[in-house]
């Protein structure tokens, strides 16, 4: 299922993995898309020959730069029908070498950067609502937000914070007619997951992820999660009693240790 009509969209994290697959699909469908990512050359290559693309090179952890991007979108589009916040990173924490800098690096784009983008996008979503539209704010979290996992202290916490923030914001924006959708992918083949040193069950391609996301957005689902065989299991594990959840988590720690030390 595709998004209806021609929409004004801001997509962050647009040049890699899920973001690139989304960008290619949205541009091909004829939407007006403001594309943000850190690499200007990659953005130019992505948008080559597309007159419906607005290029906004951007590091989402730079609050002032995000504010300027919002101003440029306002000038070009007038408002936003969809803010799709997809930028993020992943690093795994080794408890034996506890690294506060790593935690801050992960939270900068995954949580604080998303908050900066929400701040810039909300006035534009409100303009679309004033025009009679049904604007939507969406962000890519992770299935890791459902369940604490070994070595995912920084990544999982940043995504759990994002999910909590947006679920609370959804309640406060309801009266304004602005929808909020959260995206919780399982494992998707991207440059980030290609670096993982552990098994990734039911990993899907980025194009499949983009299809699931766009279908969920078109249906205005509150929680867009996939592949469902994997994410439903993770959700179930997340609501188990703490002692049982702890025992299951310890099995994953042993598996990770065996993988890392194998010849």
Tokens of 191: 């440059």
Domain map of the chain by residue range?
A: 8-238
In which residue ranges of the chain is pLDDT below 70?
254-263
What CATH number was assigned to the domain covering residues 8-238?
A: 3.40.50.720
- Residue with structure tokens 């290559």? 45
Q: For residues 14 and 31, what is the distance between their CA atoms, to the nearest angstrom?
A: 14
- Give the pLDDT confidence score for residue 263 in this predicted structure: 24
Residues in the chain: 263
- Residues serving a catalytic function are 155
pLDDT of residue 180: 98
β-strand partners of 182? 139, 223
């Amino acid at each position: 299922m595709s998004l209806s009509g021609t929409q004004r969209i801001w997509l962050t994290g647009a040049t890699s993995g899920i973001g690139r697959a989304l960008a290619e699909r949205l541009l091909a469908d004829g939407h007006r898309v403001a594309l943000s990512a850190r690499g200007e050359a990659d953005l130019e290559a992505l948008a080559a020959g597309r007159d419906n693309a607005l290029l906004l090179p951007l590091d989402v952890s730079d609050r002032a730069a995000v504010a300027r991007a919002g101003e440029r979108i306002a000038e070009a589009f007038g408002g936003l029908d969809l803010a799709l916040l997809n930028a993020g990173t992943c690093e795994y924490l080794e408890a034996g070498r506890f690294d506060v800098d790593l935690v801050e690096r992960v939270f900068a784009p995954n949580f604080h950067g998303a908050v900066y983008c929400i701040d810039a996008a909300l006035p534009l979503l409100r303009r679309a609502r004033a025009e009679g539209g049904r604007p939507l704010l969406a962000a890519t979290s992770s299935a890791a937000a459902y369940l604490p996992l070994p070595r995912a202290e920084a990544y999982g916490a940043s995504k759990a914070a994002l999910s909590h923030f947006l679920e609370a914001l959804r309640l406060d924006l309801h009266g304004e007619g602005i929808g909020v959708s959260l995206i919780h992918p399982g494992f998707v083949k991207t440059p980030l997951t290609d670096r993982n040193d552990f098994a990734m069950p039911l990993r899907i391609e980025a194009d499949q992820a983009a299809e699931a996301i766009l279908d969920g957005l078109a249906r205005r689902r509150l929680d867009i999660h996939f592949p469902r065989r994997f994410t439903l299991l993770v959700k179930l594990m997340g609501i188990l009693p703490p002692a049982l959840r702890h025992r299951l988590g310890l099995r994953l720690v042993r598996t990770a240790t065996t993988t890392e030390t194998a010849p």
